[in-house]
Amino acid sequence: MVSKKIEKQYYDLYKVKLLDSRNLNLYIQVNKKNEKLEYGDRVKLEGQFKKPSEQRNYGGYDDSKYLKTLKVVGRVKVNKIDIVKKKQMNYILQLANEIKEKIQEKIESNFNKEHSAILKGLLLGDTSNIQEETKEQFQTANISHVLAISGMHINYIVIGIITVFKKIIGKRKSKIMTILILIFYTFITGFSPSIARAVIMAIIIIGGEIIYRKSDTANSIAISLLIILLYNPFLILNIGLQLSYIATIGIILFHKSFFKIDNGNQVKNKKFNKIKEIVTISLSVQIAILPISLHYFNYISIYFILTNLLVSIIIGPLIILGFLSIISNLFVIPVNIGLEALNFVTKFSKLPFSKIYFPTPNIIVIILYWISILITKQIYLIYHKNHLTATDKRVKNLIALFRYRFHLKKKRNIIAICIIFIIALIISIQPKDLKIHFVDVGQGDCTFILTPKNKSILVDGGGSLSEENDVGEKILVPYLLDRGYTSIDYLVVSHADQDHIRTDYLQ
């Protein structure tokens, strides 16, 4: 049965649920000239099955792992397709899809193509119509999270629903209504990991309030993750899931500590405290997700605090007015203004140093980073607590003892540190084995050579340019960063064919 459509330039890609299977799916590639398929159609098809490709290069993309997170077993290029029956999906899913389509039609009728694509991302989590360049700008400006339904969106929805219904049906019943609407909203927006996490945690918190029980944040996180992984264990590999949970944990661990800094001078200005709260939340998230972000994307932006501060001002009214513009034809102009403001924030991606590249950190570096951050936070709290526990006192005494011992023989200790540093430097500059890496770039050639004196040589860039897959951006640059190189010393071009010198992304 057809469950999802993704429009491509030359064909339509449909996600199709296999009958008599454990909720497994196929992606089918259908020529645009063929009959259009609709959600819930039961189809019979003939075509060539294409098994998902595995990782081709060191640290490279693994299509088989990605498809497992979607419960997709492979792709089929369709030669013949027949519609057997219409509307065969279960009633709730069919109804949710019809409502989603009506919302999309309303958005498209009220807004231009660019604005409607972004608004569908904001309200429905549907980014399929957003241009790749626009997505890249959102990501570089560090605000791509607004295009994925997450805790921020759910928070505004919960506040809006309870505010409207509590005066009509009472506070307790309004919370029950909120849970029901959130569940149905999840059906409308799809079951992406970030949506599932935010909705499950919100339901646990609201459910606790209904039965007069205070929910535990750690338990809420654990229960939501357990439910998601019971549905599909491979979702643990999903980047969105990892970033969503780590960002949430970062806020829990660091936000209050950052907010209390310099609170000796209590500032009663509400606007200042609101700005401080936004900045500390953004900083908490960035500290937590930094190693994961570098692992997957290899760059950071120095403008993240400013862009997130601006977005936090824009996004709340934009989401609320966006939903109101769907219910009625009002608020279209304010929503357009908000979308233009959001587009303005994405222009930060064009500023110098909007992308500072780093080599890919390995798992050991990531673990050491988190351990050092948690230790630093704990030490800070110990030195700023008014009432210390017995354990806190022991840790504080151990730190004091270490500092005393270090200063007691300060000169000798400094010399020892310098000797260790010099030895490490000598080891790092020692001649190494010659290494030659042949990079799989599809059509074309590419060879990466590391000399005994650690000089890097790239022979050809490899790969033919296509609309959907730029080899330089998608394969070669990530490969070099995964190998630990943000630049190369020499570039050698064997001849001038495009499949050998498409290297315009190298810097």
Please tell me what DSSP assigns to residue 466.
-
Q: How far is CA 506 from CA 221, 377, 413, 466, in A?
A: 41, 38, 43, 18
Rg (CA), the chain: 27
State how far the Cα of 367 lies from the Cα of 375, in Å rounded to an integer. 12
Q: Among residues 301, 363, 358, which one has the least CA distance to residue 481?
A: 358
Give the confidence band of 466 by pLDDT, cuts at 50, 70, 90. low
What is the full DSSP assignment across 139-150?
A: HHTT-GGGGS--
Q: Average pLDDT in the 188-206 region? A: 89
pLDDT at 227 over 90: yes
Token pair, residue 196, equals 């599932």
Q: What is the model's pLDDT at position 507?
A: 44
Burial of 376 (0-12, 13-18, 19+ CB in 10 A): exposed
Question: Which range, 127-141, 301-315, 338-352, is most confident?
Answer: 338-352
State how far the Cα of 476 lies from the Cα of 167, in Å rounded to an integer. 59
Are 371 and 379 spatial neighbours (Cβ–Cβ below 8 Å)? Answer: no
State how far the Cα of 299 lies from the Cα of 294, in Å rounded to an integer. 6
Q: Average pLDDT in the 107-126 region? A: 90
Q: Among residues 449, 450, 479, which one has the least CA distance to residue 463?
A: 479
Give the confidence band of 266 by pLDDT, cuts at 50, 70, 90. low
Q: Among residues 131, 26, 97, 160, which one has the least CA distance to residue 468?
A: 131
| CB contact set of 351 (below 8 Å; sequence gap of 6+) | 303
Are 193 and 241 spatial neighbours (Cβ–Cβ below 8 Å)? Answer: yes
Q: Among residues 482, 460, 484, 490, which one has the least CA distance to residue 472?
A: 460
Phi, psi for 78 (deg, rounded to 5): -80, 130
Q: Average pLDDT in the 435-454 region? A: 87
pLDDT at 161 over 70: yes
Q: What is the model's pLDDT at position 367?
A: 92
Give the confidence band of 500 by pLDDT, cuts at 50, 70, 90. low
